[in-house]
Structure 1
Amino acid sequence: IDRSTAQSCRRRREDEEEKESGGHGMESKVRCVWFLLVVAVVVAAGVETVRGAGECGRVPVDQVALKLAPCAAATQNPRAAVPPNCCAQVRSIGRNPKCLCAVMLSNTARSAGVKPAVAMTIPKRCAIANRPIGYKCGPYTLP
């Protein structure tokens, strides 16, 4: 809840208290508290939705990138053999091209020395038949 919303609520409550007399001041406080609770619930729901809306669903991209550790050499050298366990992970992650793209361009991949242009060739080098050929991944295209 931002400061301006809280201030607006406080001002509204004070204005209502001035207009009303008797025990009605408590009623406006209750309304204000309910208003703030509703705003808090809406904000919390929005944050949870954003968490689930990542390229790889609820799993952070950098966490998925760690699954591609067996691909390390193959992401740096286009002539390196691609290990079968790397192909298995790429096949699994590649079912969601947005996730695969995000993983290959992630901070974790960058820190590990992954060359994105080389990494994009791994699905083809693994002979994955249903790979997303032509999928645009940033400035790269999956072959």
Structure 2
Amino acid sequence: MAMRPLVVLALAVAVALAGVALGEGAGECGRSSPDRMALRMAPCISAAVDEPDSAPSSSCCSAVHTIGFDNSCLCAVMLSGTARMAGIKPEVAITIPKRCNMADRPVGYKCGDYTLP
């Protein structure tokens, strides 16, 4: 079971590299694909699959603050193929900005079937 995150990360890197090779235009996350942005969120894997009231790691919160998602990018990352492959639970992942105490987090924004707290 400990190998699963490494396998998922390797697959995600392959997906991201394929996106770079094909060329990326402007999208939900600017010039980066949601899958590529999801790779930057690797420190948040445990926070996105655990219970929504557990505290994310400081490295996870740092990644969230550094990336500075806007609403559409946040949704695209949490619902991306990379996130699905990593076993991310969108209903839990969507709570990470709040659990990291992001002052400028998108509150009340609809993300697929989920609403940002």
TM over 0.5: yes
Higher helix share: 1
| Length-normalised TM-score, structure 2 | 0.73
Deviant stretches of 4+, over 6 Å = none
Distance 1:142 1:90 in 2: 15
Distance 1:62 1:137 in 2: 16
Larger Rg: 1
Distance 1:95 1:60 in 2: 13
Q: Is the 8 A contact 2:37 2:77 kept in 1?
A: yes
Q: 3-state DSSP class of the match of 1:72? A: helix
| Length-normalised TM-score, structure 1 | 0.61
Among 45, 60, 64, the alignment partner of 1:86 is 60
| Aligned residue-pair number | 94
Considering only aligned residues, what root-mean-square deviation do their CA atoms show, in Å? 1.5
1:81 Cα offset (Å): 2.6
1:52 Cα offset (Å): 2.4
Q: Is the 8 A contact 2:49 2:92 kept in 1?
A: yes
Structure 2 unaligned regions, length at least 5: 1-22
Distance 1:134 1:94 in 2: 17
Identity of aligned residues (%): 60
Distance 2:27 2:94 in 1: 20
